[in-house]
Structure 1
Amino acid sequence: MNATIRIPVPAEFNFAVNLDYLSRSPDESLYRIRGGKLYKTIPVGTLTPLFEVCGDEPGCLLVSSLDEGQWDASTKEAVIRYVRDWFDLDNDLEPFYTMSREDPILSDVVPRLYGLRNMGIPDLFEALCWGIIGQQINLAFAYTLKRRFVEAFGRQVGRGDVDCWLFPDPEQVAELTVEDITALKMTTKKAEYLIGVARLIAEGQLSKELLLESSSFREAEKKLVAIRGIGPWTANYVLMRCLRYPNAFPIDDVGLHNAIKSVLHMEQKPTPARIKELAVGWKNWEAYSTFYLWRVLY
């Protein structure tokens, strides 16, 4: 068996708060949560390591293998890298917490969610698909559609009584027909967008590395919105959850509007112009501010 891996966590981290966020939908199939522990599989070359993450030891995450035999060094490194990215462990949140104490919107929200990280989607294709699937529908239905998509075209990995699904490969989705996807009760447009994005990635025209090589946030955003089916909301969602741009700001998001309306006890939802005024103190923390406000509702 592999030895347990200890991944140090920052002081501003609470495993239970993040696990609660990850528990929000019964339709989630890319990971499992049981007894306060998190189970996940990722592709590493031809391997699919299945591992457990728990927060039983103060100051670190404990990562344990469910696989028979030893992980080699590259597999272990890939798992550690994924977990660090997934939980955004390399981001120092102390400045965010300092800023939020004086902010009229965040001052009451952040203390209730202390230790919550912007839970990431490290894989670009998964992040883009999730953004496309979630366009203009409620969160519960988006999760249902994602589960159907994953279970129709992804791959199940199991060890004993634990199983997780791998997100579909872009190469596989690139070969699908629109009808293959609309059979899952997705719209024709979304099916076209998913196949189009898959083809760009499969052909090497789009990658996480290429986007991260952008000279600025605005250039990365511009590259994304040039893709059919990727508007400003989806682009900023991906920039926030996958590429980790701190100033990504899906300002047109209805959930963000409703959260601000709720927190400030407003009679009507704020306009994007008003949100820009309210968010003037969030500079370079727009992504985290949005994520925390989403958590007020979802």
Structure 2
Amino acid sequence: MTPQPTNSACLPVALPAGFRVTDALDFHRRDAREIAERVAANGLQKGLLWEGRPACLSLQFSAQQVQARLDVDADAGKRQIDERALLAMVRRMLGLDQDVAGFAARFADHPQLSALIVRQTGLRVPATATPFEALAWAITGQQISVPVAVSLRRKLIQACNLRHTSGLLCHPDAAQIAALPLETLRAAGFSATKAGSLLTLARQVDAGDLPLNDWAQSLDAERVELIRERLLNIRGIGPWTVNYALLRGFGWLDGSLHGDVAVRRGLQMLLGTKEKIDEKTARDWLAQFSPWRALVAAHLWAALSAAAY
């Protein structure tokens, strides 16, 4: 069998001092079966689609930089990889443009959060390769445990069966999921509501009605409100799903995740209260941290060692 030709690009990306490599690796270590991601001590490989072609992204970390390599299974045309797009994806995935220093300086003396910031200095929020992947994960994980969500995600990836020559399966893009029959998602374990939401989302993205990748290139408060409005119009997508996807897919740090059970549990632990924290209390408490409300949520997750979120 003749090996499939590949198209490759490799570039070094500088890392800030104190970059927390473990946070980035743990986010991609969710599925112990490693069908789409392989994580080692100082690096990872991830299967994804690049312009519709199976690809493998490799990230190898050293003290001051990460070496990023993308190997794309090439067609006859063997199009050149856009290194600017690759760099932007890697920087977003690693949270390198997140203003964590400004956040730490602003709340260094906060009576409740300052100790957590010091203990978790430099914490950034790792992101998915694409905004669509984050939304697919957010829909998958609605109101179920992380292990069950990981299992559903695995079955979705297996149902699409997009394999790179490295052996890794690739996370499907919107076009691949849009082509799936509803019955395939139901057989994989998705509820009727989740399957419908995922298919509607995928079809709108594939049709160009939701240009998520374009929006990710230039994100501001006005654009975020547009994204929020458009996504909330999809049945089965609510505020938590939108805010979580804005964080994990776009790197937007100001979504309020007061509806997240783990965030409320972390806040209860931080405040030292015996009573459970309700959504209103969490929302009101998080409001003081704008424009970093989602980053505060990530600190609360980390305090609970919720690496899978």
CA 81–198 in structure 1, closer or farther in 2 if over 3 Å, else same: same
Aligned positions of 1:225-264 closer than 5 A = 225-264=232-271
Q: How far apart in 1 are the matches of 2:298 and 2:221?
A: 24
CA distance in 2, matches of 1:292, 1:29: 29
Q: Name the stretch that deviates more: 142-151 or 5-14.
A: 5-14
Displacement, 1:158?
3.4
Aligned residue identity for 2:68: V
- 1:59–1:262 distance in 2 versus 1, CA, 3 Å: same
Indicate the residue corresponding to 1:271 in structure 2.
278
Distance 1:117 1:30, change over 3 A: farther
TM-score (norm 1): 0.86
1:28 shift after superposition: 5.3
Equivalent AA in structure 1 for residue 42 of structure 2:
G
- Identify which range, 192-201 or 59-68, moves more after superposition: 59-68
Whole-Å separation in 2 of the counterparts to 1:176 and 1:51? 25
Alignment correspondent of 1:188: 192
| Residues paired across the two proteins, number | 293
Structure 1: distance between partners of 2:139 and 2:70: 33
Structure 1 position 292, deviation (Å):
1.9
Shifted more, 71-80 versus 265-274: the winner is 71-80
Matched, 1:59 2:58: no
Distance 1:139 1:242 in 2: 18
Which residue among 274, 289, 295 is the counterpart of 1:282?
Answer: 289
| SS state at 1:165 partner | coil
Code of the residue aligned with 1:288 in structure 2: it is: L
Query: C-alpha displacement at 1:215, in angstroms?
Result: 2.7
Counterparts of 1:126 and 1:31, CA distance in 2: 14
Distance 1:19 1:50 in 2: 16
Counterpart amino acid of 1:8? A
Q: CA deviation at 1:150?
A: 0.8
| Corresponding residue for residue 82 of structure 1 | 89
Shift of 1:72: 7.3
Deviation at 1:15, TM superposition (A): 1.5
Q: Which moved more, 1:34-43 or 1:230-239?
A: 34-43
Secondary structure, aligned partner of 2:169: strand
> Does structure 2 conserve the Cα–Cα contact (< 8 Å) formed by 1:44 and 1:75?
no
Could you give the per-residue CA deviations for residues 88-142 of structure 1, whole angstroms, max 9, x where no partner exists?
1122311112234323443233333333321112423212211111111011110
Percent identical among aligned pairs is 26
TM-score (norm 2): 0.83
- Correspondence for 1:26: 32
CA gap 1:220/1:285 in 2 versus in 1, 3 angstroms:
same
Amino acid at match of 2:149: A
SS of corresponding position for 1:268: coil
Q: Please list every run of 5 or more consecutive structure 1 residues that lacks an aligned counterpart in the other structure.
A: none
Q: Aligned with 1:295: secondary structure?
A: helix
Counterpart contact for 2:92–2:250, Cα < 8 Å: no
Conservation of the 8 A alpha-carbon contact between 1:247 and 1:287: yes
Unaligned runs of 5+ in 2: 1-6
- Asked whether the 8 Å contact 1:110–1:292 carries over to 2, the reply is yes
Q: 1:151 aligns with which of 151, 158, 166?
A: 158
State the superposition RMSD in angstroms: 2.8
Call closer, same or farther: CA 1:215–1:264 in 2, change over 3 Å: closer
Q: 1:97 to 1:66 in 2, by over 3 A?
A: same
- 1:6 maps to what in 2? 12
Structure 1 residue 2 displacement after superposition: 6.9
Q: After superposition, what is the alpha-carbon deviation per residue over 1:137-165, rounded to whole angstroms, capped at 9, x for unaligned?
A: 01111011101111111412133xxx322
In 2 relative to 1, CA 104–216 (structure 1 residues): closer, same or farther, beyond 3 Å? farther
